[in-house]
Amino acid sequence: MKAGKTNLLLTVLMTTLFLFGFGLKYIGPSPKTPEISSGKSDNLKALKLLDQNCLSCHNPDMTGGHASRLAPPIFKVREHYYREDITKEEFTASILNFVKNPSEDKTKMRGAIRNFGLMPSLVIPQEDLELIVNYIYDNDLSSEAWKIDWDTFKKNQIRN
């Protein structure tokens, strides 16, 4: 009798593992990484806006070389505007001032203009721009943690 119960238990266990491992789509929460899952829905919204409005030109992926890019990668933009002693307000104002009406005299990236040309003006609502720039200020886009977040975000976008 003991062997029968053990076999039944093993059969149920194997069937469950098979169904959940191979046959059914996982419906639970998707795996998240610290920056995106920090409890702030603004982070995810900002990342979506960043993806929709900025990353087609400022792609964070460094493969393909300079000739295949339209603009410097987004982490290089942050690197040129961010300093340890800069406040979020100063950072935001500096980038917004340039993005709203790009010109050579407003840029902190003269080499980028020389290599890629002047960025076109963008028509993005002020609220969305501020959300994007605040996200860029708050997140080190060159860090391994952010790269993991970015990869997770891309995978989740493909699934949805």
Query: How many other C-beta atoms are found inside a 10 Å radius of the C-beta of residue 122?
Result: 13
In degrees, to the nearest 5, what angle opens at C-alpha 86 toward C-alphas 81 and 91? 50
What pTM did the predictor assign? 0.70
Q: What is the pLDDT of residues 45-58, one digit of tens each?
A: 999 999 999 998 99
Q: Which amino acid makes up residue 82?
A: Y
Q: What is the pLDDT of residues 90-129, one digit of tens each?
A: 999 999 999 999 999 999 999 999 999 999 988 899 999 9
What band does 69 get if pLDDT is binned at 50, 70 and 90? confident
Record the tokens describing residue 61, joined without a space.
């992926």
Q: What is the pLDDT of residues 16-42, one digit of tens each?
A: 434 344 433 333 333 333 344 444 678
Q: Give the domains, in start order, of the chain with CATH numbers.
A: 33-159 (1.10.760)
Q: Which amino acid makes up residue 3?
A: A
Query: How many other C-beta atoms are found inside a 10 Å radius of the C-beta of residue 29?
Result: 7
77 vs 63, 83, 118, CA distance in Å? 17, 12, 14
